[in-house]
Amino acid sequence: MKFGTKAIHAGVEPDSATGAIMTPIYQTSTYVQEEVGKHKGYAYSRTQNPTRHALEKSIAALENAEFGACFGSGLAAIDCLMKMLNPGDEVISTSDLYGGTFRLFKTIFEKYGIVFHFVEMKNAAAVAELVNDKTKIIWVETPTNPMMSIIDIEEMANVAKQSNALLCVDNTFATPYLQQPLDLGADVVMHSATKYLGGHSDVVMGALVTNNEEVAKEMYRIQNSSGAITGPMDAFLVLRGIKTLHLRMDRHCDNGEKVARFLDAHPKVNKVYWPGFESHPNHDVAKKQMRGFGGMISFSLVGNQLEDALQTVSKVKLFALAESLGGVESLIGHPVTMTHGAIPKEEREKIGVVDSLIRLSVGVEDAHDLIDDLKQALD
């Protein structure tokens, strides 16, 4: 089954009671049992809910996975993975990653004895040097947030096998339409479904998928025991969003390229970070493991002045100054003061998150209007 067909049909069946083509919103906390221990597969909605179940099957199918689980947010999904570890276990993470993930690692799980190593992952050898018998997870974002760094998933899978570590990939920016990490050797894929999977800025949700049965058992145990689940209404919204994922991503990619090339030619722009440029580090890897380069772009300004960046993001009219990404509308953000404020300044600047860096989530509007908006703000 091709991806566009999967997006519309995978994991979803007409409702057995009414024939409704859309999965109903099962807004219920509990289910009547025929007798003690005999029910129709559902007993309590923290453990399982038909709407959430359909979404979990859908996301798993898009990633060519057997098992899927949905959570109250992307961070709740990562939290589930970290709870599979024990004190003394080690995690190797990319140093260029979402600020919320960094905060979760450093301020929540580090105090429970989990050891985190942050390393630039464009070179697999640097990761291999840190691997030891205590390494349990290698955490990858690709493209990374916000520097759009590209990490070779196949190379990282080979490194992970050295210590039987799990390779976990945050696939939020690429989506399963552009990149399928499990097919490249990853063990677990995480999505902030808040972003492109939902696609309409109206839901907060996370997801994990895997083909590893042992990981899946732990995933479902922790999901049920910790209770950080998503509700049926949110599950319904993401099911609806997924049906147009392939159509939206084509437009995000097309608009992203046009905006990136405009910015690259603008005299007030110092550097543009977009994987589609041949000069972008690991561009060849992006071509190999991605079907397109996406709609996420970061750029810095000439002079690297904080004031210039703040002025630019305040002068746009179509781009909305807001956190998050991946919706149909275009968003603009300032990582230093917004998404990556939790990362210490010296650590931010090591990975290129400088004061003038601006991040764009390019939406599906007319690209000419978006370019005109950026032009008037920059000029």
Q: Assess whether 264 carries a catalytic annotation.
A: no
CA distance 150 to 300: 18
Query: Which residue among 6, 136, 195, 348 is the active-site one?
Result: 195
- Which of 15, 46, 251, 261 is flagged as catalytic? 46
Q: Catalytic: 221?
A: no
In 3D space, the residue among 140, 147, 71 whose CA is nearest the CA of residue 340 turns out to be 147
Neighbours of 33 (CB within 10 A): 12
Is it true that the peptide bond before 146 is cis, omega within 30 degrees of 0? yes
> Measured between alpha carbons, how far is residue 69 from residues 47, 178, 222, 228, 296 in Å?
11, 21, 10, 11, 26
Helix (H) or strand (E) holding 60: helix 50-62
| Alpha carbon distance 121, 92 (integer Å) | 10
Q: Is the dihedral of CA 367, 368, 373, 374 positive or negative?
A: positive
Are 138 and 116 in contact, with CB atoms under 8 Å apart? no
Indicate the DSSP class of residue 144.
-
Which residue type is seen at 42?
Y
CB 238 within 8 A of CB 193: yes
At 253, list the tokens. 């990619």
Which residue type is seen at 26?
Y
SS in 3 state form for 112-127? HCCEEEEECCCCHHHH
| H/E stretch holding 367 | helix 367-378
366 carries an active-site annotation: no
Residues 6+ apart with CB under 8 A from 62: 3, 6, 7, 10, 176, 177, 242, 245
Residue of 26, 79, 89, 98 with catalytic role:
98
Could you tell me the maximum CA-CA distance found in the chain, to the nearest angstrom? Answer: 73
Q: What is the CA radius of gyration of the chain?
A: 21
Three-state SS at 92: strand
* CA dist., res. 130 & res. 126, Å (int): 7
Q: Which residues lie below 8 Å from residue 152, measured CB to CB, with a gap of 6+?
A: 124, 282, 285, 289
Q: Which residues are catalytic?
A: 46, 98, 170, 195
